[in-house]
Amino acid sequence: MIALSTDCLLFRFTSGDCVPFSAEMISIELMGDTACWFDQDFVRQAARAVFHYFKHELGRQTVTVGEFASALEKVLRGFSLRTKPESSANSRGSVIESDLCQLACESGNGCELAFFPRLREELRQQLLQKPRVLRFRGLRGCVKQLTGARRWGTRCRDLETQILAYLHGCLDSETKPLEFSLVID
């Protein structure tokens, strides 16, 4: 068995896969109204602090992506001076999840041509529920499924970037102000 590096944590995805990440490898995307509250460097430092908390304070070697996202959200909410009172946040919906692998599967043989319109429709349907947190899970598996790749490569990285940019574009095209956190893992 290969030993885990001392500066890594195993991140467990809902699919059951575990992937080792160091604090420097973690990339966080904030979208919607929350993207303007913090600069990218601040979010990166907050993610490192949450990483340190799980690794050194709790002594954990494995953490689920959901646990990490929840802890990071709690930290960022603590720093946000422009958030609404907690009671108004609780009156809105809670966490709504969509499985990107499922969307890719539903796209059938159309691959990317059918996937992107399906993704936009899923985003619109989820936004109608007015979530507090909108989570798209399974990005890595979805990309590998769409590209037909067994291992992560340049084509996978390019498609991942396209999917993230597409979601940014879809959210930007929404006419009303959006007040939710978007998590893509």
What is the rounded CA–CA span in Å between residue 12 and residue 18?
A: 4
Residue 69 CA to its chain's centroid (Å): 8
pLDDT at 51: 87
**Span 78-99, average pLDDT:** 58
Residue 117: inside a domain, yes or no? yes
Q: Are residues 110 and 158 in the same domain?
A: yes
Same domain, residue pair 178 and 97: yes
The answer to whether 111 and 103 have CB atoms below 8 angstroms apart is: no
Give the pLDDT band (50/70/90) at residue 29. Answer: low
If asked whether residues 171 and 151 sit together in one domain, one would say yes
Judged by DSSP in three states, 100 sits in helix
Is 26 contained in some domain? yes
Number of domains the chain contains = 2
Residue finishing a domain among 27, 55, 83: 83
What is the per-residue pLDDT for 134? Answer: 83
Residues 66, 126 within the same domain: no
Whether 88 is in a domain gets the answer: no
Both 118 and 176 in one domain: the answer is yes
111 and 182 both lie in a single domain: yes
Domain boundary among 83, 112, 143: 83
Which among 61, 83, 105 is the end of a domain? 83
Q: Are residues 66 and 132 in the same domain?
A: no
Alpha carbons 104 and 114: distance in angstroms, whole number: 8
* Residue 100, pLDDT score: 92
pLDDT of residue 79: 64
pLDDT at residue 87 greater than cutoff 70 = no
Instruction: Name 13's Cβ contacts closer than 8 Å, sequence gap at least 6.
Output: 19, 64, 65, 137, 138, 140, 141, 185
Q: Round the average pLDDT of the chain to a whole number and report it.
A: 78
Does one domain contain both 68 and 17?
A: yes
User: Residue 180 class from Cβ within 10 Å (0-12 exposed, 13-18 middle, 19+ buried)?
Assistant: buried
In one-letter notation, the amino acid at residue 92 is R
Average pLDDT over residues 117-139: 87
Model confidence band, residue 7 (pLDDT cutoffs 50, 70, 90): confident
**pTM check: above 0.85:** no
What is the pLDDT averaged over residues 114-135?
Answer: 86
Question: For the segment 145-183, what is each residue's pLDDT rounded down to a tens digit?
Answer: 898 888 989 999 999 999 998 988 888 887 566 677 788
Comparing 8-12, 40-44, 75-79, 121-125, which segment has the lowest mean pLDDT?
75-79
* pLDDT(39) > 80: no
- Structural domain of 3: 1-83
| Helix residue spans in the chain (DSSP H) | 40-52, 65-79, 86-91, 100-106, 111-127, 139-147, 154-173
Does 7 share its domain with 79?
Answer: yes
Based on the domain organization, do 62 and 107 belong to the same domain? Answer: no
Q: 69: number of CA atoms within 13 Å, CB side?
A: 21
Residues 68 and 105 grouped into a single domain: no
